[in-house]
Amino acid sequence: MSKNEQTSCPMGSVGGEALMEGIMMRGPEGAAMSLRLPDGSIETTMKEVVLPKDKHKFLGLPFIRGPVTFVDSMIFGYKCLMESAEKTAMATETDTENMSKLDRWIEDHFGHKMMTAIGVIGTVLGFGIAFLLFVWMPAFLFDTVNDKLAHGSILAWKTIFEGIIRIILFLIYMSLVSRMKEIHRVFMYHGAEHKSIFCYERGFELTVENVRKQERFHPRCGTSFIFLTLILSILISSIVASVFPVLRQPELRLVWILVKVLLLPVIMSLGYEFIRIAGRHGDNILVKIIAAPGLWVQRITTKEPTDDIIEVGICALKAALGMPVEMLIKPEGAENEEEEPAAENDAAESGVSGAEASEESGDGAENL
């Protein structure tokens, strides 16, 4: 890649999320969701995005925007994920023929509602399991060890013990999940998302060849954010436990769990602000040291993508930037038959239409 291929770009103005057989990118032009459909084509849908800070200015203030942006990104990302699963998991003709009359009736009358219900139930169960594994389980294990084996002698190490257990459980969980075929594919799209964004941020032309050469570990990744919050939770919990040592007592386990839940917004705020700094000052040695564990964990949550997956990432990123894209682009809610494949989006600006965008344009794009 020669220097004359490079263009300027605003650091931190784009971000995204891996989906089922697709990628969602958020940029100056809004959010674009590109999916590889069962017939092999790439469909890109433009999504309307309204950031919380656009509704209420104070939600964009430092140490407030972190939890708000995280929740907003989770909700929006969940909707995109469910839509991608529905569009890319279409039943084949053979599957339809093999369906029983009851299954076909349910599919015809409740197909979309059933998918929504399953999604809601899955989300509730997911939060329940996450709470059980990462909040209740570490506290229970420590109290058990402290009572049965240490006879109360390690009470002062409660927060560190719980934090280490939480990190170990997180790594084991992600490692096991990554072995699932469908999740492995999602992690490949995650890698393509990072590579595409790196290619853009470094000013290179968005081609498969250029994107392929980029690394897949990005400092603004949501994985880094989660891992950083785990580390911050150890530090902040230790401070709180030192100020109020009575909270370490086993009989106050439920109170201690409640305190940790209440501390989550503070931890998320600090983590979010650091991720923003890391994305803009990645060459700083201190930032590199603090960001290193999160980047290492991305070896689990990202995988090397194939060229066809990279193509999806490029399509989504170009659409989010308002660049010409050789594919079908349709606004949210439009019907496929009303659109014709376009060789080029003539209305789009060239290169980097978001180059003049401010840092705040990327507030909703920080989670990669």
Please write the tens of the pLDDT for every residue from 306-333: 999 999 999 999 999 998 776 555 555 5
Positive or negative: CA dihedral 166, 168, 169, 174: positive
Q: Compute the half-sphere exposure of residue 218: CA atoms within 13 Å on the CB side of its CA.
A: 34
- Mean per-residue pLDDT, 101-110: 58
Q: How confident is the model at residue 99 (pLDDT cuts 50, 70, 90)?
A: low
pTM > 0.85: no
- Position 110 scores a pLDDT of 56
> Containing H/E element for 118?
helix 101-131
Q: How confident is the model at residue 188 (pLDDT cuts 50, 70, 90)?
A: very high
What are 285's two structure tokens?
A: 């040695």
- Position 21 scores a pLDDT of 95
CB 30 within 8 A of CB 44: no
pLDDT per residue as tens digits for the range 114-164: 666 766 787 788 888 888 888 889 988 998 898 888 777 888 899 999 999
**Most confident residue range from 45-54, 117-126, 282-291, 314-323:** 314-323
pLDDT per residue as tens digits for the range 337-361: 444 444 334 333 333 333 333 334 4
Positive or negative: CA dihedral 306, 36, 180, 92: negative
Positive or negative: CA dihedral 215, 219, 223, 227: positive
- Position 289 scores a pLDDT of 85
Percentages helix, strand, coil for the chain (3-state, rounded to 5) are 65, 10, 30
